Amino acid sequence: MKSGPREIVTPFRPIPLDVPEGMKPNEFFNSTENLNDLVHNNGLLRTPENLLLYRKALGHSNEFDTSIIYNTSQTILDPLGRPVRRTQVPDSVKYIWNRMNQILLEYTLEQYPDPDKHLVLAGEASLDATWPLTSPGVPSIRMLHNHFIVFEQSELREAKLADPANPNLTDGGQHSLFEQYMHDVYHRFFAALDLRILQPMEGSSSQLALTGYPQGLPCWEIKGGVDALKEVRFWREYDEVLKGFIDFYRTFFSQVSTRNAPMLTDTWFPDQVENILLFDNAFLTTAKKVRDRCITDAKYANDLRWKPAFKQLIYRNDEGKLVVTISQNSIGNAITELLGVVVKRVPDAEAYEKKEPALIEKLLEVRQRLIEADLGEGIETPHWPSA
């Protein structure tokens, strides 16, 4: 079977939402009013910390698909003032979030134990306005949320090959600026982080044989597997990877913006930034290439995401190992595309409703585990009770 990215078709039930006259859809979806609709029609569980577990009405997969959102819509009315990455979340909230993540991942791996039958992943992406606000790709809900998704491998095998030139397939080696021009310094910078549970993976060992993804990205095996997710240190190391990525991204684009810019004062890893990045010829040469093009190519400059934009996830590879990876993000792409899975959503209520009972059963089951662990209270909707 030929290896390559796959495009799968996921049916959904159309959502009857009335967008107020004079508002664009993405403006309405980011409103407190719409978030209320999300809670009352699709909400599964909420915590006192404003973490909301909900059913994905426009999901990636109808096998298993749910998200946790840090719902600050009623406490921070400015959409640009809301936390959009883990490093901006208060420690008390992140503590609860990590425990919820651990239970949800443990549940999916328990329900889907065979990597040959199911692809299991969980991850998140930056959601701030890191590209022009006039772009149609500006996120509809500008609040941090993550995804827990399971795909049937048989469905992926039968799916048609996706166009590898699809701009949403932004793995390293294809579209990623970091990987194309700065592969060595990018990986050397990550290698300098103090990681013990996360062990670097070499070569193609992190790739899924079916899709060939992820491509060229730094990947780490989680030593200890699912049990390691119960350790506080793992989640600290997961954050270290994100902090390292943000340092790399911000340092690079500071050099693109201003030649020979001084080191940013609020970096997490100043020694590595100074000794690895700001004294590396490939790093600075690439910054010059981008800067020179920005001066003469208005469209190119307008499309740049000057602030840190990322996708970070945990997935199970073909050998059953849990792997962490992180990638530069681009306009419009989804977390699944990091693994070479392009989702084409189509409105088909009948097809969706055939899958819905089994999906809801699993979501309510994992919700009960969260309730028992004192991680929130169930939400009653027209589709399910509160407990």
Sign of CA dihedral 68, 230, 222, 310: positive
Q: Are 342 and 166 in contact (CB under 8 A)?
A: yes
Cα→Cα distances 134→24, 143, 265, 374, Å: 11, 19, 30, 42
DSSP code at position 263: P
pLDDT for 170 equals 62
- Centre a 10 Å sphere on the Cβ of residue 245 and count the other Cβ atoms it contains: 25
pLDDT for 362 equals 98
Cα→Cα distances 354→55, 135, 360, Å: 16, 36, 11
pLDDT for 33 equals 73
Delimit the domains of the chain by residue range: 6-378
Given the structure tokens 């936390």, which residue do they identify? 83
pLDDT for 381 equals 94
What predicted TM-score, i.e. pTM, was given to this entire model?
0.93
Mean pLDDT for back-to-back runs of 10 residues, the chain (387 residues): 92 83 73 77 95 92 96 83 89 96 98 98 82 59 87 97 80 66 92 96 91 91 97 97 96 96 96 97 95 93 84 96 89 80 94 96 98 98 92
Q: Are 86 and 239 in contact (CB under 8 A)?
A: yes
Helix (H) or strand (E) holding 311: strand 310-316
Nearest to 195 by CA among 172, 223, 227: 223
Q: Are 334 and 344 in contact (CB under 8 A)?
A: no
pLDDT for 328 equals 83
**Half-sphere exposure (Cβ direction) of 327: Cα atoms closer than 13 Å:** 32
Helix (H) or strand (E) holding 89: none
The token pair that represents 354 in the structure block: 């055939």
